[in-house]
Each structure stands twice: as C-alpha cells, then as structure tokens.
Amino acid sequence: MAGESDVVFPRLEEAQIATLRAVGRTERVSAGDILYSPGELDYELIVVVSGCVEIIDGIGTESESVLVSYGARQFAGELNLITLEPVLLTARVADDGEVIFVDREALRGVISRDTRLGDLIMNALVSRRAIIIEAEGGARLIGNGTDPATRELREFLTRNRVPHRFVDLDGSEPTAMTGDGLSLADGDLPLLLSGRQVLRAPSVLEAATALNLRAPNKTAKVAWDCLIVGGGPGGLGAAVYAATEGLATIMIDAVALGGQASTSSRIENYLGFPAGISGSDLAERAIAQARRFGLRTAVPERALSLRTEGGRYVIALDSGDELAAHTVVLATGASYRQLPVEGCERLNGAGVFYAATLVEARMCGGAAVAVVGGGNSAGQAAVFLSGTAERVSLLLRGGELGASMSQYLVDQIEAIENIDVLLHTEVREIHGDAALAGLTVEENRGGERRDLEVGGLFVFIGADPCTEWLDGQVAKDDDGFLLTGGELDVTHLDVDPINGGRPAMPLETSLPGVFAVGDGRTGSIKRVASAVGEGSMSVRLVHQYLSLHRNGT
C-alpha cells in the first residue's frame, strides 16, 4: 500500500471530523490496542483524531506486515464496511491518541446526507479494495494449481473480488506453506484461511457462507419489493436505481456479481470513462453504489424455479431455501459457449479460460497464448494479453477482423506487433493432460493444419441464455431468449387476477410484474451500456406495476 494519495488516503477537514464526531463516539486508545481483527463482521469506521493506527496483514505470523499507517485527520476502513463482508486485516494502535468510531448505519447516513464527505469516503474505500487485491492481502488459499476444486474456489474468490493470496503448493509440503504450523491431512486441500477461520477442502457454498456472501432472510414469509436474478450489467443497473429509490431489493447470482462484464480486461467504449475501465472495477463500483443505499446481495445463489403464491413470486434456490418478492427482474444473462473440441472442458481453468483478467494472465506467465473469437470481448482480451504474453494469436473463423468488432479495437490490434490475426482459422485439437500444452489449428478454406505452442487458450465465441430454469413458466422464443413487451400476445396477461387484461409493458415478460433485461432477453443489444440502460428502465416499470398492484387496477 505504499504511495499515499489524496483519493486513497485523504485527510479530513475539521468540519468533516465534526460531522463524524456528531454521529460516532470518541475514545482514547493506547499503543497496542487492537481495534478490529480479521473475521469480525461488526466493525466501525475509525477516524484518527490524534496518534497513529496501523493496518496489518498476517498479524502474528512470519509474514506479518504493516500495509499503511493512518495519522491525524485520516480514517481507517475498507469496502467491507459497505458490503457487510468480514474484516480482512487488523487495525492496531501504534501511538496513543484519540479516535472516533462510526458504526455502519451512522456511516450510511453520513454518506447519504453529505455528498462531498460521502464521495470522499466511498472513493477511498473502493480504491483501497483494489489495492488490497493487487497486493494479495487478506485471505489465503492454499492448494495445487492443477486441482479442479482449487481452481473452482480460486475463480470464485477472484470473480467476487475477495482479496486473497493464492499459494500454489506445486509439490511442496503443505505445512511449510501455511506459515503457522497447521497440521494438514489428506483431503484438507484446498485450504482457505480467512481471519480466525480455517476451512479445509470447503465447497464454494461453504466458503461463501464463511465470507458472509450469501442471502439473508431466505424465507418466502418475507417478501422483498424487488428481487433481481443475475448480477451482470443489467442486474446492476436495476439494483442501483431500485436501491436509490427506496425499494427493498435483493440481488442474487449463481457465480459472481458483475456477470460476464466483470471478466472483461478493459471496456473503452462505456460512457464516462475516457481512459477505459476494467469490467471488474465497473462492477465493484456499481455494487458499492447500490449497497450504500441498502441493496442486499447474495452469491452463490442459483435460482431453480419461479412460482406465484399469495399474490407474490417465490423463487426456489438450489440451497433448498426460497426468496419471495412482489416483482422480479430477470437479468440472467448468458453462459459461455465452449469449443466443440476434445479436451476443452477437461482443461477449463488449466490453460483454457473464458475470461482475460490479471489472474488468468499470471497463470499463463509470459507464454504465447491464443484467443478465439471475433467480437469485442475477444478483441479486448487480445489487447490486454499482449502486454504480458510473448505472442497472441487471435483466431477468427471468418475472413474480416471488423465484421463484429468495434473499429477502435480493430485499430489497436493492427497496431500491436505481438498480436497475430489468423483469419479463416479454427481450433481442431487441444493438447495436454493436466494442463494445456498446445493447439492444432486449421485454415478452414484449404484444410491446412499447423501446431501452435501456447500456454493459454481464451475462448470468446458467444453465449446461450441462462433461462432453462424458467421452462414452462415464462414465454420464450425458439432459442430460449425471454419474450417481452410487444413481442407477447396480450392473452399472456389476461389471467392476471389483480390487473385484468392489459398489454405487456416494455421489458415485461408473460408474467405480470416479472421483467427481463440484458442478454437473456430476445432482441437485446449485446453491449454493457444497453444492458445497464434496460436495468435502470426496468425499475421505472417496477414502480408502475407496484402502483397498479396497490390500487387494484
């Protein structure tokens, strides 16, 4: 965390300290006092009036290190103050002094009422999370990089932006890598260490529960105003507007908040970010924005079915629990298509990837890589990977780079020397047992084959709608995409006992009060901005439906 900046480590003005003092409690602290520890859920923002507070990673271990020291007029805290996740690091008093403790509810009130102070605090918390992730602070995941269970857990932590350090045993003695003398037996790996919690060979569900990422109040007896299924751009757009407008809202996702957009290394055509922004950063900012207004989120929570019960909708989850709501926004998105080539599925995460972020790039080292696809996601991946890989082979089965790719990406790719664009080229064979060892590709016009020595294969060939769990419940087109608005027959809503017959509203499905946004909706434009727009628009329609419902008209 070296390198203080006004954004990450700001100094408060006297008036701002007075505002926080009015809603908090002031106490004297002594050197050595622990103000919060890893694993704690109920902790507070700490404003340093005098003295010094250190933030420590790995306290009590051989790897203990002081990440940053906060002096007078600074504040200690991280994004989990807003996300309700457990504390990742330790706050210890270095010099005697005076501090102000501000609890979560009081902090949320300050952020809402005082725009300038609220922006200063939120920007600092979001930036600190990014720094901790980059520094690999927080939790530790110990396992073998080629083990499927380890890869699955690592992907879950990474996709959900849980700060952690991955320790790849790679044949080393496990006890030596823990650094704290933990005794390990066969079957204990992967090992997840988070605060005082030691999780031996946990499932993703168990890890999510320990990290407080799962849903609260999972009972159909409590109905939310709005339940959002899917945490991609469409779901996030709906979440921000629903939360800011005071609707009791919960958003669930089967894997990670941010959806496919969170796997994009850089989005350069999103409004308001002239220098571009990574998909994960955009998602994290949107999540923090909605959570500051009371949004609840839960992962992994996979929806299994949708039914009506007592004038509301009930969604059954794969955990056996249920959630009920008066309205539902389906932002289910789409799932990645795999190459129909032997070995592709077996090597998922072991050289075959469907995202191009810093984690995947590190797994490939500096080896040459191949990217398959002709859309923007493939282009963004190629540009990003060119910064770390020896060479990038961009494989397109068609004959034109700009056929379905934005021109700005085409220009960038053509200007980067270590990107080779291979037109009319398809993958025919994937080599390797435990990890990717190379590819055989074919020129699909003449049939000429050749081998590519690559350490990573990145696949971006489209996706299929994640709507199979809605079979027989919501109207779809022949490809499984959800029908909405004018694409529906009026009779789909004629059975509504409350509202009677009426045309479907824009984005409304064949079930009244159930809306569809983003990639899972038929006719949608597959762009982040359009999905966000649909999500925000759906909240206006949710209000309209709730008004009709309350009035009984």
Task: Give whole-number Cα distances, 455 to 171, 200, 203, 439, in Å.
Answer: 20, 30, 28, 9
Within a domain: 342: no
Measured CA to CA, the distance from residue 161 to residue 285 in angstroms comes to: 12
DSSP state of 476: B
Comparing C-alpha atoms, which of 348, 401, 391, 341 is closest to residue 370? 391
Residue 343 has pLDDT above 50, yes or no: yes
Within a domain: 341: no
Say whether both 55 and 33 belong to one domain. Answer: yes
Average pLDDT over residues 367-372: 97
Question: CATH number of the domain that 205 lies in?
Answer: 3.40.30.10
Task: Give whole-number Cα distances, 511 to 343, 396, 504, 516, 536, in Å.
Answer: 41, 40, 9, 10, 19
The encoded tokens of residue 505 equal 């509203």
Query: What residue type is assigned to position 241 of the chain?
Result: Y
Residue 2 pLDDT level (bands cut at 50, 70, 90): very low
Compute the mean pLDDT over every residue in the chain, rounded to the nearest whole number.
88
Residue 98 has pLDDT above 80, yes or no: yes
Within a domain: 305: yes
Say whether both 330 and 422 belong to one domain. Answer: no
Say whether both 197 and 243 belong to one domain. Answer: no
Say whether both 377 and 408 belong to one domain. Answer: yes
Q: What is the pTM of this model?
A: 0.79
The encoded tokens of residue 247 equal 């609707």
**Which of 461, 495, 525 lies at the terminal end of a domain, its last residue?**
461
> Cβ contacts of residue 222 below 8 Å, gap of 6+?
324
Average pLDDT over residues 118-139: 90
Comparing C-alpha atoms, which of 542, 534, 456 is closest to residue 224? 542
Say whether both 143 and 127 belong to one domain. Answer: no
**pLDDT tens for residues 420-454?**
999 999 999 999 988 899 999 999 999 999 999 99
Residue 144 has pLDDT above 60, yes or no: yes
Domain count, the chain: 4
Residue 217 pLDDT level (bands cut at 50, 70, 90): low
Within a domain: 215: no
The encoded tokens of residue 534 equal 């649909």
> Cβ contacts of residue 358 below 8 Å, gap of 6+?
none
Q: What is the pLDDT of residue 173?
A: 62
Measured CA to CA, the distance from residue 33 to residue 461 in angstroms comes to: 54
Question: CATH number of the domain that 20 lies in?
Answer: 2.60.120.10
Question: How many other C-beta atoms lie within 10 A of the C-beta of residue 235?
Answer: 32
Report residue 300 CA to chain centroid gap.
Answer: 11
Question: CATH number of the domain that 432 lies in?
Answer: 3.50.50.60
DSSP state of 267: B
Average pLDDT over residues 148-166: 89
Comparing C-alpha atoms, which of 302, 299, 267, 300 is closest to residue 285? 267
Say whether both 115 and 149 belong to one domain. Answer: no
**pLDDT tens for residues 246-267?**
999 999 999 888 877 776 777 7
The encoded tokens of residue 403 equal 């056929």
> Cβ contacts of residue 67 below 8 Å, gap of 6+?
1, 55, 56, 57, 89, 132, 135, 137
Say whether both 378 and 415 belong to one domain. Answer: yes
Q: What is the pLDDT of residue 84?
A: 80
Say whether both 33 and 94 belong to one domain. Answer: yes
Domain range for 151: 139-210
Rounded to a whole number, what is the distance in angstroms from the first to the last CA of the chain? 58
Q: What is the pLDDT of residue 553?
A: 44
Measured CA to CA, the distance from residue 286 to residue 294 in angstroms comes to: 13
Q: What is the pLDDT of residue 175?
A: 55
Say whether both 228 and 324 belong to one domain. Answer: yes
Within a domain: 321: yes
Residue 83 has pLDDT above 70, yes or no: yes
DSSP state of 367: -
Say whether both 113 and 32 belong to one domain. Answer: yes
More confident residue, 48 or 531: 48
Say whether both 165 and 94 belong to one domain. Answer: no
Residue 178 has pLDDT above 60, yes or no: no
Say whether both 230 and 328 belong to one domain. Answer: yes
More confident residue, 72 or 499: 72
Measured CA to CA, the distance from residue 467 to residue 524 in angstroms comes to: 14
